[in-house]
Structure 1
Amino acid sequence: MKKSITLRKKYHFKFKNSLNFKKHLLKWGTLGFKLKKTVCISEMQEMSIKLILIKYLKKITLKKFKLFFNSKCFYSATKLPLESRMGKGKGEICHFFGYYKKGYILFELKNISLFQALKLQNQLNKNKILKIKIIY
């Protein structure tokens, strides 16, 4: 009899790639933007995404829109100084980041047409920070 051997990889973070979370359904808006793959977004990237969104939406639409952003940076990245030895603790906090799974709705929009949302999707996918798709 052959025994099947399964090799497990060691990951730094123990996250599962399943859809057992409740952040893949629309809650507040009529259109949502869902992530195509799992990403880690830092606080600075999150702020730049928000600024790009608001700036580009003001160019596209003349009427008022509502933007619901679902991201929060919960995790902290730490770093020790260069010449520190082992056993000196974890180190100082460098920055905060958020880990978002595939299928997570990053933000939702209200009072915007589908054509304008497609323009916005093309603009955001050019920025190489994240890849998204529209759901409605």
Structure 2
Amino acid sequence: MQISRKKHHFKFKNKLTWTKHTLKYGSLGFKIIKCICIIDKQEEFLKLLIIKTLKKITNSKGKILFYSNQFYNKTKLPLESRMGKGKGEIICSFSYYKTGFILFELKGFDLIDALKLKTYLNNKKIIKFSLIY
């Protein structure tokens, strides 16, 4: 499924008291501790890292539910362009996640396996997570 990419202006207010997300489908969830901006390549790397580490940690077959969305596009004009020529070409898409956003949920995994995954991901220093159950 190909999503049409539009050029948006980035209008977002940083609120640190936002805690509206709760678990929807899974029994364990990973909540983001700090506000962060992630580009699409970093998000794909994070998904692959989560899947590979869960295969190493546990033998149980469960589901991983990702709640990621790339709404914003990063644009850049060529080097020697003058003003009034528009916004430029789309380089990559990114998403901005607030504090308290549940990035992914686990369904069918043990709490011990989720704790091991949380410590592994927090040691990688990509994103800091807290565990919700």
Q: What is the TM-score with the length of structure 1 in the denominator? A: 0.85
Mark the CA change 1:63 to 1:14 in structure 2 (over 3 Å): closer, same or farther: closer
| 2:12 counterpart letter in structure 1 | K
Report the equivalent of 2:67: 70
Larger Rg: 1
Instruction: Note the alpha carbon deviations across 1:59-102, whole angstroms, 9 max, x for none.
Output: 11111011000011110000011111111110000000011100
Partner of 1:14: 12
Q: Residues 24-63 of structure 1: matches in 2 within 5 Å?
A: 24-63=21-60
Structure 2 letter corresponding to 1:13: K
- Residue aligned with 1:124, SS: helix
- 2:13 is aligned with what amino acid? F
Where has structure 1 moved over 3 Å in runs of 4 or more? none
Aligned to 1:118: 115
- Structure 1 distance, partners of 2:74, 2:55, is 34
Give the TM-score of the pair, scaled to structure 2: 0.87
Q: Distance in 1 between matches of 2:110 and 2:12?
A: 39
Q: Which runs of 5+ in 2 are unaligned?
A: 1-9
77, 81, 96: which one aligns with 2:78: 81
Q: CA RMSD in A?
A: 1.3
State percent identity of aligned pairs: 55
Distance 1:43 1:106 in 2: 14
Residues 7-31 of structure 1, C-alpha deviations (whole Å, 9 max, x = no match): xxxxx633241427x4x10001000
Alignment of structure 1 residues 91-102 onto 2, 5 Å = 91-102=88-99
Task: Identify the residue that residue 128 of structure 1 maps to in structure 2.
Answer: 125
C-alpha deviation, 1:125, in angstroms: 1.1
Question: Aligned partners of 2:102 and 2:51: how far apart in 1?
Answer: 17
